[in-house]
Amino acid sequence: YLKISKLALAFAIIHSKPPGKSSKEYVEHLAKTVSKQDFGWKWRVEVLEAEVLRLRQELLLNRISPRFCLENRKQDTSAETLLGRETINPTSYSSQLEDSGCDVWNDSAFDSLGIASDFHQSEHNVNISKHWLERFPPLNLCHSSKVQSLTAPVQFLQSLLEIRKLSEGGILQADFSELENDSFTVCNSVSQLLDGLTIFYNSPKFPAPSFLTEGVSVLISLITDSKLSNHVLKKCFKKIEEFKKNLIQIILRNRSVNRFQALHSVSQTLGLLGRNNILRNSLVSLLLSEVRQFAEQLLQAHQVQSVYDITQYENIFLLCMILEQLLQSETQESNISSSDYGGEEKIKFLKNLDQIILRLSDEFPLFSLYLWRVSVLLNSGQMQ
């Protein structure tokens, strides 16, 4: 039946082809037409799925704290006014995405994240983020998909953090047990946030857009909040692990000329994720694995006098620095018990490491020094 159908379709195409076109050209034309229609339907499905997720987010927030949603509706007028101004004059936003090719990365926003030891004290940043996000409607097809991939989940997760803070201060009554009843909405929002961050880190802009900084801030605040982090890590752990792996690969594989400014922010995000006790162990294991594999490849290339990847050699130092920072922070936090830190990867890393350092020390002294410093931290009494 399938063969007969294909044969009938072939005869129909040949019979209906316009004059001056071959059968092959006509088939390619029909294929392009069908693919365009499929793309249109896929785009409509994505738009509808985004709208469904937005409605589920609103419903979940309303279940957690109806009063919070009621107060937010009272501010819709001011939000619409701001949105109208942004629509009339969008240059203030688009100028942030321009890259002259000579600009340096604006580290002030990321540095403030790195210096702060307690993300709960950033109430001022929460208010600023809310004010900025109110310029954008929950679903605005005029903006690029990249922007929407970050602004939508950030707005929802920022609201969760704000409700958490207000309920802790006794200003609002909130029932966070609703998060257990609707894990899909939370997981989907966190997944959107992580995918959006990955997209921007893969194609960074100079200087960093505001919504990228806000996305990192929300993610870190979410996994460090004592009440919300359990819900997020329990349901989204695999997605966060995938995000960490993607960031590591972004660092290793980036070959752009001015990559160090962009990779610096990626490494800072990895360092901030490593502050979480649950995420730290797995991140250290990932870093140990990547550094060990590169050290073995470098040794093999050195022994046979073959060419090695100089770009990856330059990028590996960022992973070494992150690894060292995580291990140092562990030794300084005496209140945190460290079991077999790094697990199996720690054993693999330390195996034959002295021989690797000895053979690479003359040709690659700086890399050998980093390997030795990491091994000292792993072998110290606090890390056993």
Q: Are residues 187 and 252 in the same domain?
A: yes
Q: Is 226 exposed, middle or buried (0-12, 13-18, 19+ CB in 10 A)?
A: exposed
Tens-digit pLDDT profile for residues 112-171: 444 344 434 444 444 433 443 343 344 343 344 567 667 888 999 999 899 888 888 888
Q: Are residues 268 and 341 in the same domain?
A: no
**Alpha-carbon separation of residue 281 from 325, 340, 373 (angstroms):** 13, 9, 18
Instruction: Among 246, 275, 304, identify where a domain stops.
Output: 275
Instruction: Give me the mean pLDDT over the 309-317 stretch.
Output: 92
Concatenated DSSP letters for 134-150? TTS-SS-TTS-HHHHHH
Q: Are residues 223 and 317 in the same domain?
A: no
Q: Are residues 163 and 214 in the same domain?
A: yes
Q: Are residues 220 and 319 in the same domain?
A: no
DSSP H helical ranges for 169-309: 178-181, 183-202, 210-224, 228-253, 259-273, 277-303
Q: Are residues 168 and 265 in the same domain?
A: yes
Q: What angle do CA 374, 378, 381 make, to 5 degrees?
A: 135
Q: Does residue 332 belong to any structural domain of this protein?
A: yes
Tell me: pLDDT of 353 over 80: yes
Q: Which residues form the domain of 197?
A: 151-275
Q: What angle do CA 275, 279, 283 make, to 5 degrees?
A: 95
Q: Does residue 203 belong to any structural domain of this protein?
A: yes
Q: How many domains does the chain have?
A: 2
Tens-digit pLDDT profile for residues 213-250: 888 899 999 888 888 888 888 888 899 999 999 999 99
Residue 129 contacts residue 154 (beta carbons within 8 Å): yes
Q: Are residues 162 and 267 in the same domain?
A: yes
Q: Is the pTM of this model over 0.75?
A: no
The amino acid that residue 149 corresponds to is S
Q: For 353, list phi and psi in degrees, rounded to 5.
A: -65, -35
Q: Which residue has the tokens 């022994």?
A: 303
Q: Are residues 158 and 270 in the same domain?
A: yes
Q: Are residues 212 and 300 in the same domain?
A: no
Q: Is 199 exposed, middle or buried (0-12, 13-18, 19+ CB in 10 A)?
A: middle
Instruction: Give me the mean pLDDT over the 91-118 stretch.
Output: 40
Q: How far apart are CA 265 and CA 289, in angstroms?
A: 22
Q: Which residue has the tokens 């697990």?
A: 343
